[in-house]
Amino acid sequence: METKRERLPEYLKRGLVDTEKTRLVRHILKDNCLNTVCEAARCPNKGECYSKNTATFLIMGNECTRNCRFCNISCGKPQPLNSEEPQKVAQAVKKLGLKYVVITSVTRDDLPDGGAEHFANVIKEIRKYDEKIKIEVLTPDFKGNSNSIDTVISACPDVFNHNIETVPSLYEKARPQADYIRSLNFLKYVKEHSKILTKTGLMVGLGETKEELIQVFNDLVKIRCDIVTIGQYIAPTKSHLPVIKYYKPEEYDELSVIAKQIGIKHTFFSPLTRSSYKAYDVFNEE
């Protein structure tokens, strides 16, 4: 029997934004043949971010080798890496005049290093343009390969983000090709082998309990994760996992208080928060 789907609450709705600035961002991205997670994942904050001359670059194509049931990015056979992509991202960053850049990717389990060297090359090309620019990477788990993690660490991003996404009990349903402990160990490794800020994000509304979220907070404190984001899961289509609950704004405030009491330094919890939403503002809280 299909789960009854609730209507999207008003506080989660965003109107279309079409301004000279948003058109400029789309034009620059199109000119450089670049993907953004804003478009691929149907992010509700796309208009706001574009209007502020910012976007989260999605590298290594738009076909993912994993099929997470919450994600709108398609699963399929990826194309070979584009060796010109690092330079194209750097050119777009320059044209947009960005001071803080977020780089993410599809999961590329087909590549021996999971695409780690490509991440590093993008960071290096951006820094050629501006060595003072702040760069955040949001990477897949590289299957837990420490050599791949080291490759990205060596490129010195300012923030190393890897998303936990959900509580352990929901992994089999939501992201069966991932592993909760592997993701925790990933973040732990970055913290133990660098001075880079670590960050992770979760969705709520998939059926997790408050007690399960608290356990995740405790796990993240143990591995000294610096920044945690939480936002509402919104089903991209009817074929994706249904929303079990829409959290009210005050519930995010309550969770933030709990997380900080447990020991998480920086929390950014709200209905429309996404991993890279207002990443510059979150970074400046540090």
Q: Please answer whether residues 38 and 279 qualify as being in contact, where contact means their C-beta atoms are separated by less than 8 angstroms.
A: no
**Sorting pLDDT into bands at 50, 70 and 90, what band is 41?**
very low
Q: Is 276 a member of any domain?
A: yes
Task: Answer whether residue 139 is part of any domain.
Answer: yes
Q: How far is CA 46 from the centre of its chain?
A: 14
Q: Is residue 8 part of a domain?
A: no
**Confidence class of residue 36 from pLDDT cuts 50, 70 and 90?**
low
**Residue 7 covered by a domain:** no
Give me the helices (H) in the chain, please. 20-31, 37-40, 46-51, 85-96, 116-129, 146-154, 171-174, 180-192, 210-222, 249-262, 279-285
**Per-residue model confidence as pLDDT tens digits over 168-195:** 999 999 888 899 999 999 999 999 999 9
CATH code: domain of residue 149: 3.20.20.70
Residue 38 pLDDT grade (very low, low, confident, very high; cuts 50, 70, 90):
very low
Which residue range(s) make up the domain with 90? 16-283
Residue 111 is assigned to a structural domain of this protein: yes
Q: Is residue 24 in a domain?
A: yes
Contacts with 166 (C-beta within 8 Å, 6 or more apart), sequence order:
70, 174, 175, 202, 203, 206, 208
The model carries a pTM of 0.84
Kindly state the average pLDDT of the residues 235-249.
86
Question: Is the per-residue pLDDT at 2 higher than 50?
Answer: no
Q: What is the pLDDT of residue 27?
A: 61
Overall domain count for the chain: 1
The verdict on residue 222 lying in a domain is yes
Residue 99 lies in a domain: yes
